[in-house]
Amino acid sequence: MKINPAFVEEILTAFIREELGRAGFHKGILGLSGGLDSAVCATLAVRALGPRNVTALIMPYGKGFGSDLADARRIAKALKLQAETIDISPMVDAYFKKHPTDNPVLKGNKMARERMTILYDWSARIKALVLGTSNKSELLIGYGTIHGDLACAFNPLGDLYKTQVRALAEHLGLPEDIRTKAPSACLWPGQTDEAEIGLSYAELDEILEHLVDGRESEDEVVARGFPRKKAARIARLIRGSEFKRQMPPIAKLSSRTVGHDHLYPYDGNK
């Protein structure tokens, strides 16, 4: 779980510069929620590209939940990047007025996808690539909205567990209240990731590290002293969320098919 944050910063800022440069871009754009992951990603982007080349869209639903809107603005100000606030409530409300629901997950997913469409619209307007902010913990258990917050051009944080993102945040000098506030997907007021997942990130990350990096079986993880129920639940979440991590399958009919045997690198286009 330990990382050398200075080395990670060096690698990730170089990654951001190279991914943009290769695609012929020099600007990056990302959604800034007021939470830890997007704050870390924005900081890395500013260090990689300079504040003039990083745009942060702050996209609350109405006034947002809790302190997030104020926190996002504070981070944007401290980083001196290009920030814009766009209230997504008119678009989201218009839809749910016609197709009402009481299901907060449906509402939350719609909000995440609303933000995605705005990010990609801005991406084309200002010629900036969308930086992803999903961490390894979320990606592995599928704690994200497909085509919503999971959508991006490239993702600097996707191989860092939440615990490691926190260590990187401390190295980057992010304010303590941002680093210690309860992580939330902001799908509804008062929501926290840990309550919804049913595990603390510390515990989740430790079990994930054994299952994924250590390639251990569920039984081996239980033998280490972790509760069977938790290990089994995490293993189930990983298996059940593969669809969020891959391109969808294509029925193969011809002799050469996208994804099957038409195999080009993501980065290899001039």
Partner 1 sequence: MKIALAQISPVLGDLDRNLDLHLETIEKARRAGIDLLIFPELSLTGYRLRDLVSETARDPRSCREFQALRKAGRGMSIVVGFVEESPLKPGLFFNSAAFIRGGTIIHIHRKMFLPNSGMFEELRFFARGRTIRTFETPWGKAGLLICRDFLHLNAHYLVFAGGAGISIAVSAAPGRGVAGEDGFASSRMWEVTGEAVARLTTSFVVYCNRTGFEDGAVFAGGSFIFDPFGNLVARAAYGRPDFLPAEIDPADIRRARRAMTFKRDDRPEVTLANLERIVRLDED
In 15-81 the beta strands, taken as DSSP E runs, fall at: 28-31, 54-58
Number of residues interacting with partner 1: please give it, by CB under 8 A.
Answer: 22
Contact 1, 209 (CB under 8 A): yes
| Nearest distance, CB of residue 5 and partner 1, angstroms | 9
Report how far residue 208's alpha carbon sits from residue 230's, in angstroms, rounded to the nearest whole number.
11
Q: Considering beta carbons, is residue 15 or 120 the nearer one to partner 1?
A: 15
Q: Does 14 bind partner 1 (CB under 8 A)?
A: yes
| Nearest distance, CB of residue 260 and partner 1, angstroms | 11
| Nearest distance, CB of residue 11 and partner 1, angstroms | 6
Q: Considering beta carbons, is residue 21 or 62 the nearer one to partner 1?
A: 21
Contact 222, 212 (CB under 8 A): no
Q: Does 170 bind partner 1 (CB under 8 A)?
A: no
Q: Does 270 bind partner 1 (CB under 8 A)?
A: yes
Candidate ranges 9-17, 27-35, 106-114, 187-195; the one touching partner 1 (CB under 8 A): 9-17
225 conformational bin, left if phi > 0, alpha if psi -120 to 50, beta if neither: left
| Nearest distance, CB of residue 17 and partner 1, angstroms | 9
- List CB contacts of 266: < 8 A, sequence separation 6 or more: none
Near partner 1 by CB under 8 A: residue from 190, 225, 248, 265: 265
**Please, what's the b/e burial string for 211-244 (b: 16 or more CB within 10 A of its CB; e: otherwise)?**
beeeebebeebbeeebeeebbebbbebbeebeeb
Q: At what angle do helices 201-208 and 228-240 cross, to 10 degrees?
A: 70
Report how far residue 239's alpha carbon sits from residue 255's, in angstroms, rounded to the nearest whole number.
31
Contact 97, 107 (CB under 8 A): no
Candidate ranges 18-26, 42-50, 52-60, 170-178; the one touching partner 1 (CB under 8 A): 18-26
Site for partner 1 in 22-51 (CB under 8 A): 22
Near partner 1 by CB under 8 A: residue from 246, 254, 255, 269: 269
Residues that bind partner 1 (CB under 8 A): 2-4, 7-8, 10-11, 14-15, 18-19, 22, 154, 262-270
